[in-house]
Amino acid sequence: MIQSQLIFWVGCVSALLVGPLMADELLERDGRYIHLTTDLASAEEAESLVASFDAAITQWIQFWNLEDDAITNLKVEACVIRNKAEFTRRGLIPAKVPDFPFGYAQGNKVWVFAQQSEYYTRHLLLHEGAHSLAYHLFDGAGPTWFQEGSAELLATHHGKDLDIAVNRIPLSRDDAPFWGRFKRMNQAREQSQVPTFETVLGYQPNLTGDVATYSWSWAACMMLSVYPEYRPAFLAAARNGQETGPLFNRQLQTALGNQWPILAARWRLTCNDIDYGFDWNREQVNLSAKDPIWDGNDLRIQIQPDRGWQSCGVRIPRGAKIRVTAEGEITLADQPKPWVSQPPGITFQYHRGRPLGQLQLCLLPNAHDPQAVRLEPLKIQGIDDQPILSVPQYSWLLFRVNDSFGELKDNRGSYQVTLQRAR
């Protein structure tokens, strides 16, 4: 702040000497759906923001399952700001706009602070723009979790300009510098502070820009929008955007009906895993409340290394003792030479502290406590740790191969897993 004021002052002095006031000029760029005013130093970045925003809007319209002509007369008046005092002095931030840490949207007007990376500035502009679009299309953006979660969902992206693709999880930290959502989610996991789905639904409005609140809201909206069985309820909820009270959640819960316990179980897995490169096409988990109870007879299943958690298709009763054995071979990569792994994994390469290629298992409880505030962390174990499994409560038994989320697609082969009753 001090530094930019100094530059401004120096600019004024030189202007007195040499003519027009240059340091003081704001850049303005006009697009189809956005008019941008900014004090960014780079005209190229300003133009890129406009191009990215216009390209994003058509993708948002498709995301909300609307026709291309759903937008009538929307022009978002956006300020991307480095020096807030200057925008205030020019009347570009009206007094009625509250203090905001990152960005703020009011109708078709949005204000965003320029960040330390172009990615994050673009993310915030898209986030606020997604609010504007919700006001335009649906007369509101719903309660906090839905409002912030869907804006985050439509703001996360790959690429920029005409090549931007929205609703994409960044592949690596280098792709999204300073964005920090997964860093915050990892902290919550380490501190056992991961909220239940119900906690997220109950988030109250706040203007502190709390990254954790935004991140879990984003995860909830992602989950509701990717599973085909939840998606219609999610899209219907958006159309209910003028409702910001408890009625919004009640209608969503009614629409999802008896799918709630499965959703809650999937939420536990998602929250345990989600990270850079997470690919929903591979990470949707097949679970059903109608899965039969395991009868104790030997059960053989194949575990694919290019998918996330895979259920063995039965629910394991409380008190069961299971011997788990696994065999087979998978290939995790071909470069510089084939990386072949067996169920214990490759002990010279690790992901999340466990050998790459290791077969992992997880007991996912069937029961769901709607009153809980935080999630009980899941116990994930490698196949080597404990071949005999004691099951304390009715649970699904799931397996996956340990690998980075963005590295699953070239994996091949499979592990054959056998469950036997242990005595």
Question: Contact residues for Zn ion (CB under 5 A)?
Answer: 148, 151
- The pair of structure tokens assigned to 289 is 């409340």
Name the β-bridge partners of 141: none
Structural contact between residues 301 and 277, judged by C-beta atoms closer than 8 angstroms: no
In this complex, which beta carbon is closest to Zn ion, that of residue 216 or of residue 415? 216
Instruction: State which residue, 131 or 189, has the beta carbon closest to Zn ion.
Output: 131
CB 150, min distance to Zn ion, A: 9
Nearer of residues 134 and 271 to Zn ion, judged by Cβ: 134
Nearer to Zn ion, 202 or 382 (CB): 202
CA distance 52 to 57: 9
CA distance 214 to 128: 13
Closer to Zn ion by Cβ: residue 147 or 358: 147
Cα separation, 297 vs 314, whole angstroms: 12
Sign of the C-alpha dihedral computed for residues 190, 211, 376 and 317 taken in this order: negative
- Based on the number of CB atoms within 10 Å of its own CB, is 349 exposed (0-12), middle (13-18) or buried (19 or more)? middle
- When the beta carbons of 155 and 419 are compared against Zn ion, the nearer one is 155
Q: How many CB atoms lie within 10 A of CB 305?
A: 23
Query: Which lies closer to Zn ion via its Cβ, residue 205 or residue 353?
Result: 205
Write the DSSP symbol of residue 247: H
Check residue 296 and report its DSSP letter: S
In the complex, the smallest distance separating the C-beta of residue 143 from Zn ion, rounded to whole angstroms, is 12
Residue 423 CB, shortest distance to Zn ion, in Å, is 56
| Closest CB to Zn ion among residues 148, 273 | 148
CA–CA separation, 398 vs 62, rounded Å?
34
94-127 as b/e, with b when 16 or more CB fall inside 10 Å?
Answer: eeeeeebebbbbbebbbbbbbbeebbbbbbbbbb
Q: How far is the CB of 200 from Zn ion (least distance, A)?
A: 15
Find the shortest distance in angstroms from Cβ 255 to Zn ion. Answer: 24
Q: How far is CA 58 from CA 34, 53, 154, 400, in A?
A: 13, 9, 11, 37
How many Cα atoms within 13 Å fall on the side-chain side of residue 58? 11
Contact 396, 265 (CB under 8 A): yes
- Closest CB to Zn ion among 144 and 270? 144
Beta carbon of residue 127, minimum distance to Zn ion (angstroms, whole number): 5
Min separation Cβ 165 and Zn ion, Å: 21
CB of 397 to Zn ion, least distance (A): 39
Q: How far is the CB of 377 from Zn ion (least distance, A)?
A: 29
Q: In the chain, what is the greatest distance between 2 CA atoms, to the nearest angstrom?
A: 92
Residue 87 has a CB neighbour count (10 Å cut-off) of 19
Q: Is 393 helix (H, G, I), strand (E, B) or coil?
A: coil
